[in-house]
Amino acid sequence: MRKQYIVGGLLLAMLWSVNLYAYDVDMAKKINKTFSHYSLKNLNNSKMLVDAETVMKMLKRKEDFLFLDIRTVNEIGIVGLRTDNTLEIPFDVLFQKENLDRLPREKDIIIVCHSGSRALQAATSLEMIGFQNAKVLYGGIIALAKSDSTKNVNR
């Protein structure tokens, strides 16, 4: 009887350890398909990245786009975007249905975070679920703040 418990315990431990090292193969394929073309060279040639100077020109021309600020409430409290076309949805709740339903499909969405890393993750994920209009403010709010064009925007 003791031997059966030992053998059973060993089998259970082996099965558990196999599952511990397993991963979702189909999901990995989808992710690989998405991220495999995101090399630095491809990103630099991509229409997904928008620099601060371009964004400032878009603001001056009053182009119709949405700033999607995905920073935390605390980050926004320190430095926020104060435009009529800004929507603040923190990254950690962006993919909730009620928040996705607030995003337009008919105009560009320029995603803003602190430095651009979260924005790239958000844009890529939005693209994966069907938003082809998501773009990243390259360099984030830091680049926008450093932009020479910020001095000349009519408010």
- Return the closest-CA partner of residue 123 out of 20, 35, 14, 17: 35
CB atoms within 10 A of CB 50: 19
In three-state form (DSSP H/G/I as H, E/B as E, the rest C), the secondary structure along 11-24 is HHHHHHHHHHHCCC
Annotated active-site residue 38? The verdict is no
Give the three-state DSSP class for 149.
helix
| Contacts (Cβ under 8 Å, ≥6 apart) of 69 | 76, 80, 81, 86, 87, 88, 89, 112, 113
Q: Tell me the C-alpha distance between 113 and 144, whole Å.
A: 11
Catalytic residue, chosen from 56, 113, 123, 137, is 113
Give me the active site residues, please.
Answer: 113
